[in-house]
Structure 1
Amino acid sequence: MQRFFPTCLLVIALIAAWQLLHMAIGAGALTSPWMTLTHLLSMMGTVELWVNVGETAKAFAYAMSLALVGGIVLGVLLGVNRLAGAVAEPILLNLYAIPKVTLYPLVLLCFGLGLSSKVAFGVMHGLIPILLFTMNAIRQMRPVYLRTAGTLRLTPIQSLFHVLLPAILPEIVAGVRLGFALTLLGVLIGEMFASQRGLGYMAVNAMGLGDIPTIMAVALLLTLIAVTCNSLMLMLDKKLQHR
């Protein structure tokens, strides 16, 4: 119970601040928490919302799968080969520091409009953090694990699945937590730029129409999804760290 009390207190404080800000600037610029919730519930009864949710979920599932698999595979390869990892790390950090929005015309040129460009934009955001977490986890792993694998005469594949991945699993989960949020952000930004479906498209279309209740309702829905998924992964991370 003591763990949830600070969280509940924080949520109450945020809702109170939201309500005070609404009272200060008016409903024309910011809807109240209750108005936003009721508008979201009314939207959940429409087909349009679920079509857009499904479009975003499909793009995110593809992007997250590619970022997860690619990040772990490349992270393992660069982590095992220390020279390659030392050379690649500053390059990856510099690439990730580039604002991804500036690369969106190139993404559109390569992948065109539609699902593929949104997936590519999501992978661009989420892959490198997972890769870096995985690579650094292998670097910091205790050498006795690999020596034990060699003593037991395990094959490289057996060492990977029975020694390496179990040893670095908590760090992978931490990287996935960060990669999850960034991949979702990338997909939503992709939908805002060039898409006719998805939650990102709904938000930017509502901005053009000045539809504040819809903007706030979509933002609330995305916040609830992100917080719920992040909380579940945080619980898993704590269990793995304790183990």
Structure 2
Amino acid sequence: MHRATETLIFIAALVALWQLLYLYSGEVAMSSPAATAVKAAQLLASAEFWPHAGETLAAFAYALAIAVAGGLAIGLGLGLHRLSGAVAEPILVSLYSLPKITLYPLILLIFGLGMPAKIAFGAIHGIIPIVIFSMNAVRTLSPIYLKAGRVMRVSRAGMVFTIVLPAALPEIFSGVRVGFSLTLLGVLIGEMFASQRGLGFLIMSAIGLHDVLTMMAVTLLLAVLAVTANGLLLALDHRLHHRT
């Protein structure tokens, strides 16, 4: 109950700050919270909105699946092979800090405009944190787990799925949670520059038409979706860590 009260106070403070910024800057720069909420409701009731939302969610689902599967496979492999992990870690950290927008021309050259480019851009954003978290989760496991597996003559695949993954799951899930947000960001950026459909495309179209209200409404809907999903993932993350 205390946490819920703090959350409501925080949301109220954000809305108040938003209203103050609107009063200061005017409608040329941003729309008011009330007008944005009404426009968002109108978009949700509009038949034209949902094909764009469906396009974004489909691209995000594919990109997240690729990022999680690829991140786990690479991260577990590097974590189990100490030398490879030690060599790869500084490279991965450098790639993680690299602005992914610099890869935009290469992505367009390989995949062209449309769904493949959005999926690739989203997966590139999300895969690296999952690799890093998974690798470090395995590297920091207590050696007793692996020794016990060798004593019981567990196969390498069995070691991964019955010992390593369950023991490293809390840290791996933290990486998935970070990758979730970054994958969504990557898909939206891809839609802004490499697509003619999707919520990112709607935002760019609104910017081009200087339709501040639509731009703010779509951004609000995306923010609500991202915050809600991240809150659920964070609660599950805390539960997994508390269990261990």
TM over 0.5: yes
**1:185: how far off?**
0.6
Deviation string, structure 1 residues 66-104 (Cα, Å, up to 9, x no partner): 000000010000000000011111112222222211111
**1:62: how far off?**
0.6
**1:3: how far off?**
1.8
Superposed counterparts of 1:54-203, under 5 Å: 54-203=54-203
Give the match's secondary structure for 1:83: helix
Deviation string, structure 1 residues 101-151 (Cα, Å, up to 9, x no partner): 111111111111111111111111110000000000111111111111112
**RMSD after superposition:** 0.9
Mapped pair 1:41 → 2:44? no
Give the match's secondary structure for 2:70: helix
Q: Which segments of 5 or more consecutive residues in structure 2 lack a partner in the other structure?
A: none
Superposition TM-score, scaled by structure 1 size: 0.98
Identity of aligned residues (%): 53
Q: Distance in 2 between matches of 1:28 and 1:105?
A: 32
Aligned twin of 2:19: 19
Superposition TM-score, scaled by structure 2 size: 0.97
Q: Which segments of 5 or more consecutive residues in structure 1 lack a partner in the other structure?
A: none
- Amino acid of the structure 2 residue aligned with 1:169: L
Aligned twin of 1:235: 235
Instruction: Point out the more displaced range, 66-75 or 27-36.
Output: 27-36
Q: Distance in 1 between matches of 2:198 and 2:128?
A: 25
Q: Distance in 1 between matches of 2:175 and 2:35?
A: 36
Q: Distance in 1 between matches of 2:147 and 2:8?
A: 47
Q: How many residues align?
A: 243
Give the match's secondary structure for 1:29: coil
Give the match's secondary structure for 1:27: coil
Deviation string, structure 1 residues 9-55 (Cα, Å, up to 9, x no partner): 11110011001111111122211111100001011111111000000
Deviation string, structure 1 residues 220-241 (Cα, Å, up to 9, x no partner): 0000110011011011111111
Give the match's secondary structure for 1:141: coil
Aligned twin of 2:8: 8
Runs ≥4 in structure 1, deviation > 3 angstroms?
Answer: none
